[in-house]
Amino acid sequence: MSPPMRSETLLRPLSFRCGAVARNRIALAPLTNQQSHADGTLGEDELRWLERRAAGGFGLVETCAAHVRADGQGFPGQLGIFGDQHLPGLERLAGAIAERGALGVVQLYHGGARSPAALIGAEPWSASAIAEARPGFEPARAASEAELGQVIDDFAAAARRAARAGFAGVELHGAHGYLFTQFLSRELNRREDRWGGDLPGRARLLREATQAVRAAVPSGFIVGARLSPEDFAFVRGLDLDESLEVAAWLAADGVDFVHLSLWDATRMTTKRPEEHPLPLFRARLPEAVRLIAAGAIWTVDDAERALARGADMVALGKAAILNPDWPREAAEDPGFTPERGPMSPDELAARAVSPVFVDYLRRFRGLVAET
C-alpha cells in the first residue's frame, strides 16, 4: 500500500490553459546560480542542479534568468538564450528535465540598468538615464525607440529557441528591478514618449514583449510572467494597484500564469496592511490563469497556506536548494520536516550544488556553514 499523502491539494496535478499539465503544484523557483559558461552556454553543474530537482519530484522546474541579448547579462556564469550557439546545451537541459517528469520553463530576462558594463562590454541601458549617488553605481542611458523594438523581437526569438530546444514554456521576468520593472517603475521611467508616462505607457514594453512571445510559440507552450507587486529590496516605484492592473492585462495578452515574487508569502501588502496580495491577484485574474506564489515557503504547511489564500502553485527557492527531494518527501512522509541549514559545502555538493553556487550562496545568511 502506498504511504498516505501529506497534502492532496499540493500534490494534485495542475493544468494550464494552454493544455500543459504539471504533475503537482510545487515549482522550483528561478534562482541565480552562476554555474554556466561566460558565453552563456550551459554548464554541467547547472545541468546537474536542475536535473536533480526534477528528479526530486518538482512539477515545474524553472531555469535561472536567461538573458535574451548579450547586453542583458546581469551575473557571471549566467545561462544565455540569445543565440543558436546556446541550443545544444538548452536541448540537453530540456531533455533532462522532461525525462524526470517535470515541466521545464526558461525564465527570459534583460537586466537593463542592472547589467554591469564589465560583463556586457558596453554602457547599460534602461527606460531613462539613471544615476544614483551611491558607491559602485553604474549610470545607465535611456534606450532608443529602435532598441526597444529590437528587444521585443529578442524576447520572441528567445521563446522560439526555448520551444525548439524542447522546453515546456517560458516566463518573462518582470520582477526584481530588471528591465521590465525599470519600465514599470514610476520613479525610474521618466520617458515622455509612448514607453513612459501613465501606466499603459510604462507597461507597454512588458505587454508587447508578452504578446510577441505568445505569438512566436506553439499554442500548447506555456507563457508566464513574474511580477513584484510592490517595492521591496531592489525594486522601487511600483504600486500595488498598478501591479494588479498589469497582471490583468497580461492575462488578456495570453499568459498562462502570473508568478508573484513576494519575498515572504506570509506578509500583508504594504499599501493595505490588512490585505494579503494573493487573494487580491487571484480576484483580478481569470480562473484559467494560474497564480504562482514564491517567498520564504519552507514547509508543507507554508505551501498549503499559500494555496488557501488563492495560489494555484508554490515556488520554492532556498527550501529547494537544501531539500532537492522536497516534493517526493512531502508525498511519502506525513512527518516531513525540511532541512533549513546551514549546510557544509560537502553537504551542498551532495545536493548538486557546485562550489561556484556555494560561493554565491554565502551572501545569504544561514545557508552555508562556516568551515
Q: How far apart are CA 304 and CA 310, in angstroms?
A: 10
- Closest C-alpha among 69, 96, 93 to residue 80: 69
Q: What is the 3-state secondary structure (H, E, C) of 285-317?
A: CCCCCEEEEECCCCCHHHHHHHHHCCCCEEEEC
The residue assigned the cell 527557492 is 317
Q: How far apart are CA 85 and CA 83, in angstroms?
A: 5
Tell whether the torsion through CA atoms of 157, 99, 171 and 324 is positive or negative.
negative
Of the residues 82, 178, 180, 183, which is catalytic?
178
Q: What share of the chain is helix, strand, coil (3-state, %, to 5)?
A: 35, 15, 45
Beta strand 60-67 with 103-109 is parallel
Q: How far apart are CA 171 and CA 179, in angstroms?
A: 14
Residue 39 CA, chain-centre distance (Å), reads 21
Tell whether the torsion through CA atoms of 315, 317, 323 and 325 is positive or negative.
positive
CB neighbour class for 22 (10 Å; exposed up to 12, middle 13-18, buried from 19): buried
- Closest C-alpha among 150, 128, 147 to residue 139: 128
109 assigned to active site: no
Contact 95, 104 (CB under 8 A): no
Beta strand 21-22 with 26-28 is unpaired
Q: How many residues would you count in the chain?
A: 371
Cell matching residue 24: 503537482
Beta strand 21-22 with 313-316 is unpaired
- Residues classed as catalytic: 178
